[in-house]
Structure 1
């Protein structure tokens, strides 16, 4: 049993999201109540080639524990070797295998959700990683419910993964064909949770405390994973835990506190030198900033202006403008 599931704990995972859940965003979400972290996925081949850029994706701090490093690939032996390297470098709390990514550039390399169509290879990958590092750290996996609506096979895949040594399975309730559209199918997630004896983490359409309680009470999952909702609202973890404990909803996060977090994220990113110069960093963060600003007063104009920011000072100016406009609106 993974310790974060013991004593009837119901952990909240931050879903791994490429280009989003870097070491800085994970730090923010941990402070706001996320229980378990998973890194952005990394290529097993990139790890084997000692690629510095790939290795950066495995970075985490002890404050973020428990944290897992997520790998993708289609060769069980090579995946196992890559997992050993990661364990030697950083000793994460677990290794996670990505069988769910729907992105073409991953699928075309026979990684991510493509393996849902090839269960023998999926089994060999899971078993290869578990054999390589399973006695040192736990190995878990993330899947989607199937390739498309005509091949929903998550229950079968879940049983294969359990038999291959996976100690927990996260299930995104959409098919690869759905991408991120439509509704997550929690009936299938529930069926997987009832079919295996290892913990199952449900993923899809969790954006409020009420969503969390509904899935906790109506399904057999042992925890939930929150992804896109956290991009816009990292306070979702704090809000969900409060609702779980009290049955009440916290008041909305004030606009000033939201801007304070946005600016903090920008400053931490620039200080980390992860993306290069300040301009390069802010350029890389533009889509993240636009996600943060969904629901802000004047959000449409803000997003248009955020498309062009190149410094923290420019974001500070936009924050001041936004807060000033909000104050004027209240007076009116």
Structure 2
């Protein structure tokens, strides 16, 4: 979710019912070097609490120091360690899911961060179920992380080699939840309130995490809460309401310090806009137009054209 769950998007998700959120992951080395660009990724508002800052790296001592710096700057509600990212540029630096292949190093990182944050904020971890189908070790990793002081574990039900293809293995997530005493949060293929209810009732998880589905449909949090409370599906969000949120997101992004100016903000939003518009009438032409936008006004013009054509 790097490049997605920035401070603006988290504000929107919170308003729509998200309970607990995590920042985009940040490099421990970037934090240690006091890189201003890296620090921007840790921004959040008090209205978004409870919120955690997610770190990645492969040196336990340096990760611990970076975590304490973040705690001193930001006072997040928890620190989350990323052992799940499958992206090559992270894995090649021995970060993210690469640590699933090296349990002693994974433990060293966990212990380093837990020690640095002891008595200050909780530390949690996010993992995948293994490196590939021949090395699914999430139960062992979960036990090790619990022993290292992790106070909750989030598990994405795919291996690193799967990326985001195939189906998430909730049987493995369930086995992990039954193997440890700390809360386990399941993640993978959650796109509706019915999905949340099915996984909560059919496994031993303490919670469910929604990721990529929110990129297209941030209303999923509202829908999930309504379904859990009533067992009923909410009606589809009208096109006008969807465009209203899209335009608000663009305005908030253009006002954010994150991007510097409106043009940079809207250009950075292009992929987000195309995700929002999946399933919209005339989606193919919409994507072609949105791929070139550089201003809020252009997005507003496209929205007006879209609603008139629907």
Shift of 1:280: 1.3
Shift of 1:111: 0.3
Shift of 1:278: 1.4
Question: Which one of 197, 202, 221 corresponds to residue 218 of structure 1?
Answer: 202
Structure-1 residue corresponding to 2:303? 319
Tell me the TM-score normalised to structure 2 length: 0.99
Tell me the TM-score normalised to structure 1 length: 0.93
Count of paired positions: 310
Give the secondary-structure state (helix, strand or coil) at the position aligned to 2:155. strand
Structure-1 residue corresponding to 2:115? 131
Give the secondary-structure state (helix, strand or coil) at the position aligned to 2:171. helix
Asked if 1:284 corresponds to 2:256, the answer is no
Question: Which one of 136, 153, 156 corresponds to residue 169 of structure 1?
Answer: 153
Structure-1 residue corresponding to 2:278? 294
Structure-2 residue corresponding to 1:105? 89
CA deviation string 1:223-243 (max 9, x = no partner): 011011000000000001100
Give the secondary-structure state (helix, strand or coil) at the position aligned to 1:143. strand
CA deviation string 1:280-316 (max 9, x = no partner): 1111110000000001111111011100001111100
Asked if 1:310 corresponds to 2:310, the answer is no
Structure-2 residue corresponding to 1:153? 137
Asked if 1:244 corresponds to 2:228, the answer is yes
**How far, CA to CA, are the matches of 1:84 and 1:143 in structure 2?**
22
Structure 2, gaps ≥5 residues long = none
CA deviation string 1:49-95 (max 9, x = no partner): 00000000000000000000000000000000000000000110000
Trace 1:52-67 onto structure 2 (pairs within 5 A): 52-67=36-51
**How far, CA to CA, are the matches of 2:266 and 2:47 in structure 1?**
25
Structure-2 residue corresponding to 1:20? 4
**How far, CA to CA, are the matches of 2:180 and 2:80 in structure 1?**
18
Asked if 1:141 corresponds to 2:105, the answer is no
Structure-2 residue corresponding to 1:204? 188
Q: Which runs of 4+ in 1 moved over 3 A?
A: none
Question: Which one of 253, 257, 263 corresponds to residue 269 of structure 1?
Answer: 253
Question: Which one of 114, 117, 133 corresponds to residue 98 of structure 2?
Answer: 114
**How far, CA to CA, are the matches of 2:27 and 2:262 in structure 1?**
27
Give the secondary-structure state (helix, strand or coil) at the position aligned to 2:132. coil
Question: Which one of 48, 69, 72 corresponds to residue 32 of structure 2?
Answer: 48
Shift of 1:134: 2.4
Structure-2 residue corresponding to 1:180? 164
**How far, CA to CA, are the matches of 2:13 and 2:36 in structure 1?**
25
**How far, CA to CA, are the matches of 1:299 and 1:253 in structure 2?**
17
Asked if 1:82 corresponds to 2:66, the answer is yes
Shift of 1:279: 1.4
Shift of 1:142: 0.1
**How far, CA to CA, are the matches of 2:41 and 2:306 in structure 1?**
33
For the aligned residues, what is the CA RMSD? Answer: 0.5
